[in-house]
Amino acid sequence: MKIIIPQGFKAGAVASGIKKREKLDLALIFSQVPSKAAAMFTTNNFPAAPVKVCREHLNKGRSQAVIVNSGNANSFTGQAGIKDARATAALLAANLGIKKEGVLVASTGIIGKRLPMDKIKAGVPLLVKGLSAAGIHKAARAIMTTDTFPKLAGAEFTCGGKKITVTGMTKGAGMIAPNMATMLCFIMTDARIESGALKAGLRAAVNASFNSITIDGCMSTNDMVLAMANGYAENPAIKAGSASFKKFQHALSSVCLLLAKMMVIDGEGATKFIEIKVKGARNDAQAKKAALAVANSNLVKTAIYGENPNWGRIVCAIGASGVEVKEETLKVKFSPLAKKDIFIEADLNIGKGEAVTYTSDLTPEYIKINAEYN
């Protein structure tokens, strides 16, 4: 479908000079009214300054704008980094004429460097001036780091005779691992929805998408997924467990899964997209644990890159995962490795648990990219 921004939202981006060669590096998403908001953050023990500030500002579950910079993570910058993140929020709030608590901040890029606040101060007025519905496409490009293409997805459904749009954008191509990946994701919807339902919907959608992908098993300090719902569609309020909530959940989950798959396809140096299904486990949690063990196995990933049908590496990864499994009941099969899209299925044959994860192959290009990234 054509990607459109939901009613009541605008976006934009500018090249502020954080990145070199005049690349877009400062993005803004703005809702014309305060929105209900829900978010999930990295579980890394060293969350970056913007993550800490977002947690502060989301205390009441509402937001109206999010400003994102790429090229600098504002991580491991101590109290100075928190001061910079708060100052960025206050600066944008003043330019938009809203409360600073209504502004969320996000950063991605190099760890350990202070934000160039002079460049951000110069860029913010231009960001606000350039806001438009079409600006979502520029914003998606501005949040990229090692990504090779912008990642946008959308879905629509009806509720009470009103059309509702869900649109998301994300970045991420390396340091991708569950809970959470090295990623930023921003989801907008014009749905009227209760706060509890928005939080529950986001949690379920993330678990089946962003928390089910891995590129290299590494987790960053800046990761976040943010959902904003401004109610512009004027539909009957969506409540958790209702029929309308199921429709909302389907749309939100579809958007998140599409974005997550794009991240895997764009995995640093990747040449293969790999889907791994584990079934017949004692329960779903055991199945997911086994599937992630296969997805994170460098031996499996390099074998697939070399189109080497070494199934022993798959069973070895499952055996080392710690899940309940028996040699005499384990069955493994996979699609031809010469294809770009690879499917692996492992049946443990001891229960009804199932899970699917997604990963990419491990290539010399991945090593080159990360050896040079600084």
Annotated active-site positions, please?
182
Q: Which residues pair with 28 in a beta bridge?
A: 12, 67
CB-facing half-sphere around the CA of 262: CA atoms within 13 A = 22
Q: How far apart are the first and last CA of the chain?
A: 37
Q: How far apart are CA 372 and CA 374, in angstroms?
A: 6
3-state secondary structure the chain: CCCCCCCCEEEEEECCCCCCCCCCCEEEEEEEEEEEEEEEECCCCCCCHHHHHHHHHCCCCEEEEEEEEEEECCCCCHHHHHHHHHHHHHHHHHHHCCCHHHEEEEEEEECCCCCCHHHHHHHHHHHHHCCEHHHHHHHHHHCCCCCCCCEEEEEEEEECCEEEEEEEEEECCCCCCCCCCCCEEEEEECCCECHHHHHHHHHHHHHCCHHHECCCCCCCCCCEEEEEECCCCCCCCECCCCHHHHHHHHHHHHHHHHHHHHHHHCCCCCCCEEEEEEEEECCHHHHHHHHHHHHCCHHHHHHHHCCCCCHHHHHHHHHHCCCCCCCCCCEEEECCCCCCEEEEEEECCCCCEEEEEEEECCCHHHHHHHHHCC
